[in-house]
Structure 1
Amino acid sequence: MLKGEPRRILLIVIFVGLSVATLAFQTINIDFLGAQFQRLGTGPLGLRLGLDLQGGAHLVYQAIPTSEKETPTEEDMEGVRRIIETRVNAYGVTEPAIQLMGDDRIMIQLPGVTDIEEAKQLIGQTAILEFKERTCADAMCTTYTDAETGLTGERLSRSYADRHPTTGAPIVRLEFDSQGAKIFGDLTTRLVGTNNRIAIFIDENMIVAPVAQAAILGGQAFVEGRDFTFEKVRTIAIQLESGRLPIPIEVIQEQDVDATLGADAMEKSLLAGYVGIGLVVLFM
């Protein structure tokens, strides 16, 4: 009977060692004989925690009736769901829950999101980008008139958050489609050497009105603003990239979910694991 004892003890030691390692290390990335074992979550035990354990934002939106459409169609609501899902995924929220409720409502749960106002802006608003030609009546351009150019966010092929290569300030980089690149190239060519400006608006608010120092023919540009933070430019870029919501929506319910109960349950589960391992070691 004693011949099998060393093997049994060795197996128990290996089991206990693996259990301790599982509890001790949050991130595991092992490549053994071509087989990969990964656990890359950011929560306890490397798990990706949901809203109940991590806390976050709980929002319910409802479609707003318009003169053109009193009730949304199934395609409208599915379009809203897809665009919101695109925005949330691009923002980097892990384990979001986005679910249609009835005919005109949609529920969004965002684990780990603490700024509910920022979440509402990301989900429910569409950034409207416009470029206007500003004709100045004086050298300081204190008196001016703005004219439409036909260049809007509809002509974008890509937008993303970045930093200015010289100043490091947050910027929104823009890449236009072929038609947008032509409009922008013609506009900058026309304004070079004049005191007139390119007025850039987001959501009808003027962000900046620079002069055109050279013709820009490559179809690329960037927007920077005095009050831009990296979080703000990232939100704007996501809104521009994901497109306009097919129907307007409004918040009818919002809740900042506390993670206290979930954290308490997780701590007790971890404690139970440690106690279990301790008992195994004790009765070896």
Structure 2
Amino acid sequence: MRNRNLWLALIGLLAVLALWVDFTETRIEIGFLGLQREIRTVLGLDLQGGIQILLEADVPPNQPVDRGNLEDTRRIIENRVNALGVSEPVVQIAGTRRIVVELPGVTNLEQAVNTIKQTGLLEFVDAGATPIPEGTTIRTSLDLPITGTAPVTATPSLAPTPSLTGTAEVTGTAPLSPTEPVYRTIMTGRNLRSARPQLDEFRQPEVAFTLDAEGTRLFAEYTSRNVGRYLCIVLDKKVISCPVIQEPITQGQGVIRMGSGSTLADAEALAVTLRYGALPVPLKIVDTRNIGPTLGQESIRRSLIAGIIGFSTVALFMILYYRVPGVLAVLALSLYTALVFAIFKLLPVTLTLPGIAGFVLSIGMAVDANILIFERLKEELRAGRDLSMAIDYGFERAWPSIRDSNISTLITCAILYIFGLNFGASMVRGFALTLAIGVAASLFTGIWVTRAFLHALLDRLRPGVHRGWFGL
């Protein structure tokens, strides 16, 4: 009896916490765990609006696009928008040369577009004794068709010149203009191990970066030989900053100072671009479309109506057919609904129309366990067992069927989730995730919660006297 009372107390506490999360939009912090979590309902593009961008490979029409490179490009774009904090982005290949990007809740179109289509070619360029103004577009040694090897650790020229130092030989049919300097690339972003945005001591945005072992060696050798000279940081041939080398940098760490007027969001976008590397396929924007929330609001309203109708229908059936156990099952189902929605907000799970469909479907599936248990309960009562023993036998004998059916559903959810993950079908992935969470929660409410309710209310009853209470 003490264990049953403890179970009821825990269930009551869980119900209070679930309801608090369901009706709260706030941010919680648990200091000693270092946990920070924003409690809010996250909606997908089809429910809250956002931006849809259609990208196409920026190559000649008659030039085929390698499918593997296109898939790598899709994955890099998905990583970039995820790092920007976009919830449940849809990034998928359309046809043989296009990529569709859907960004729910995005308001800064320019920042999102720049981050997505940025090729992300980072170069550390020797500027010699004269700095290059920020924003200047330059040519670098990577633009030249080169034969042989050009050792990047060789001493660079004192001033920009249209030729390379070292043993490289410039060839090709497109001669350079004698007035257009070509700046020597010391190192590229392939040696970049990490990049993160931060504020300096003057509260100005910058990007802190860390190099790998090879990059650390190259950077240490170059900066040791060129103290007092300018080293430009160039992204896609555009100068971001051109600091002077004040001392040798030997630890493989440094910062990229942003230009004047830049914000921390600009630094974050740059860090994301650098962190996830260059796009294997250059892209151009074919179309951008703003999707308003009007359709989403109507979809939410209809989904709520469908959920209420589905819940009410299931509750009415359970009460009419199973009487008192049915009432207790409805109470457990109510807790299930509150608990699952709280889990959606805490993880968080992005709710799309398919996700809501999975949630509504799981409500109907949540009573499957109760139906199996109650039918077993009625059989045990007909066999003459006392109510407490009939409840325990009903649960024990129904458990194998409940376990197997739920495991098979979870396996199906896993298959759907993997499919959505590999083929960019995030809607399928959202449906699988919400259904899997619902099935797992239904095991808890259908087995432990309903059982605790039955024992708490019915142990002292004589079913022979109150047969109608059990639908017998």
User: TM exceeds 0.5?
Assistant: yes
Structure 1 partner of 2:56: 62
Check whether the contact 2:54–2:287 (CA below 8 A) recurs between aligned residues. yes
1:211, distance to aligned residue in structure 2 (A): 2.0
The aligned counterpart of 1:42 is: 40
Q: Which is helix-richer, 1 or 2?
A: 2
- Is the 1:114–1:256 contact (alpha carbons within 8 Å) kept by the matching residues of 2? no
d(CA) in 1 for partners of 2:40 and 2:25?
Answer: 7
Q: Is the contact between residue 116 and residue 256 of structure 1 (CA under 8 Å) also seen in structure 2?
A: no
> Letter of the aligned partner of 2:241 in structure 1?
V
Query: What displacement does 1:168 show?
Result: 2.1
Partner letter of residue 184 of structure 1?
F
Residue in structure 2 matched with residue 220 of structure 1 by the alignment = 253
State how far apart, in whole Å, the 1-side matches of 2:125 and 2:242 are: 9
1:78 aligns with 2:112: no
CA deviation after TM superposition for structure 1 residue 232, in Å? 0.9
Cα displacement string for residues 131-151 of structure 1 (whole angstroms, at most 9, x for unaligned residues): 22222279xxxxx83341421
1:160 maps to a residue whose letter is R
Structure 1 residue 26 displacement after superposition: 4.0
Deviations for 1:30-49, whole angstroms, at most 9, x for unmatched residues?
Answer: xxxxxxxxx96523xxxx21
Residue 217 and residue 70 in structure 1: after superposition, are their counterparts in 2 closer, same or farther (change >3 A)? same
More strand by share: 1
How far does the alpha carbon of each residue in 1:22-71 deviate from its partner, in whole angstroms, 9 at most, with x for none?
Answer: 75334799xxxxxxxxx96523xxxx21112111110111223349x811
Secondary structure, counterpart of 1:181 in structure 2: helix
1:203 Cα deviation after fit: 2.5
Cα 1:131/1:40, change in 2 over 3 Å = closer
8 Å Cα contact 1:171-1:228 kept in structure 2: no
2:294 aligned with 1:260, yes or no?
yes
- RMSD (Å), alpha carbons: 3.6
For residues 112 and 22 of structure 2, what CA distance do their matches in structure 1 show?
33
Do 2:53 and 2:100's aligned partners in 1 also have CA atoms closer than 8 Å?
yes
Hey, what does 1:141 align to over in structure 2?
A: none
CA contact (8 A) 1:191 1:211 kept: no
1:205 and 2:238 matched = yes
Structure 1 runs not aligned, ≥5 long:
1-13, 30-38, 139-143, 278-284
- The aligned residue for residue 120 of structure 1 is 113
Give the distance between the partners of 1:224 and 1:264, measured in 2 at CA: 46
Answer with 1 or 2: which has the greater Rg: 2
* TM-score between the two structures when normalised by the length of structure 1: 0.73
Q: Which amino acid aligns with 1:209?
A: C
Whole-Å separation in 2 of the counterparts to 1:260 and 1:155: 47
Instruction: Name the structure 2 match of 1:51.
Output: 45
Aligned to 2:159: 145
Alignment of 1:156-235 (within 5 A): 156-164=192-200, 166-192=201-227, 194=228, 196-225=229-258, 226-235=260-269
Within 1, Cα distance between the matches of 2:249 and 2:297? 53
Provide the identity percentage: 32
Shift, 1:256, TM fit: 1.0
Map of 1:237-276 to 2, 5 A cutoff?
237-266=271-300
- Residues 120 and 279, structure 2, Cα contact 8 Å, conserved in 1: no
1-structure distance, mates of 2:87, 2:101: 13
Match 1:107 to one of 94, 97, 100: 100
Counterpart amino acid of residue 238 in structure 1: V
Q: Secondary structure at the match of 1:98?
A: strand
The one-letter code of the counterpart of 1:42 is: R
Q: Deviations along 1:86-129, whole A, 9 cap, x unmatched? A: 11111111111112112221111100111222211111112222
Normalised by the length of structure 2, the TM-score is 0.46
Answer yes or no: is the 8 Å Cα contact 2:27–2:39 preserved in 1: no
